[in-house]
């Protein structure tokens, strides 16, 4: 609770951008660079854009959120909290898509159009390390009774 209140008073005293500007920047890099057909250069761009967007969000400013009355039904605040989660997920998505140099399911890379079971038949698990950078860890897939093979129609 204290942590949350500290966060709110930080957001109120910050002098950075409005949430809408950050949300727009996030949407733009995602729809330009992490869309249906993905490439190395674009994904690299998205990863670095989103790092900056995280930084910008750190100094996001929204007014009048430090009293309980002002926080009641404050959808501007709720949507800012949602934006915080959206940026985290966007960063992880771009990071993992950049790491996975293959195409699999809905993840399609024009520079690596085929599936690569030798290197990427694993769950990708992204964590944030102590210094705040994203790191990739993997976990083997339990295949059960099914043998992995390319999906052909």
Partner 1 sequence: MIEMDNKQKFLIYRKKPDGKPVYERFEVPLTPGMSVLEALFYIQDHFDSSLAFRFACRGAICGSCGMTIDKFPQLACKTQVLNAKSTKKPPKLPQLTFGDIPTNWDEKTEILIEPLPNMNIIKDLVVDMEPFWEFYRYVQPYFKREYNDIQPESLQSPEKARSIEHLVYCILCGICWTCPVNDKNSKYLGPTALAKAYRFIADSRLSDEHRSTIVDKVSDTNAVPACEKHFVCNRVCPKNVRPGTAIKNIREEWLSQ
Q: Between 45 and 70, whose beta carbon lies closer to partner 1?
A: 70
Q: Indicate the helix (H) or strand (E) that contains 95.
A: helix 75-99
Q: Cα torsion for 62, 3, 126, 112, to the nearest 10°?
A: 0
> Closer CB to partner 1, residue 41 or residue 78?
78
> Which is it for the CA torsion 86, 87, 92, 94, positive or negative?
positive
Strand 134-140 relative to strand 122-128: parallel, antiparallel, unpaired?
Answer: antiparallel
Shortest Cβ distance from residue 84 to partner 1 (Å)? 14
Q: Which is nearer to partner 1, 19 or 103 (CB)?
A: 19
State how far the alpha carbon of 135 is from the alpha carbons of 114, 126, 131, in Å.
24, 6, 11
Binding positions for partner 1, rule: CB under 8 A: 18-20, 62-64, 69-70, 72-77, 79-80
Distance in Å, CB of 106 to partner 1, minimum: 24
Q: Work out how close the CB of 69 gets to partner 1 at its nearest, in angstroms, rounded to a whole number.
A: 6
Is the CB of 69 or the CB of 147 nearer to partner 1?
69
| Minimal distance, residue 57 CB to partner 1, in Å | 15
Q: Angle, to 10 degrees, between the axis of helix 75-99 and the axis of helix 40-58? A: 150
Residue 37, both tokens: 């057909």
């Amino acid at each position: 609770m204290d942590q949350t209140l500290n966060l709110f008073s930080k957001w109120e005293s910050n002098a950075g951008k409005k949430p809408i500007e950050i949300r727009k920047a996030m949407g733009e890099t995602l729809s330009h660079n992490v869309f249906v057909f993905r490439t190395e250069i674009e994904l690299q761009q998205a990863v670095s854009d989103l790092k900056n967007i995280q930084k910008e969000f750190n100094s996001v400013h929204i007014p009048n959120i430090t009293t309980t009355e002002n926080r009641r039904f404050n959808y501007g605040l709720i949507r800012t909290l949602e934006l915080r989660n959206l940026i985290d997920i966007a960063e992880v998505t771009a990071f993992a898509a950049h790491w996975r140099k293959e195409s699999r399911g809905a993840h399609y890379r024009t520079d690596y159009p085929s599936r690569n079971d030798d290197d990427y038949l694993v769950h990708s698990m992204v964590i944030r390390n102590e210094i705040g950078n994203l790191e990739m860890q993997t976990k083997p897939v339990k295949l059960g009774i099914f043998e992995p093979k390319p999906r052909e129609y």
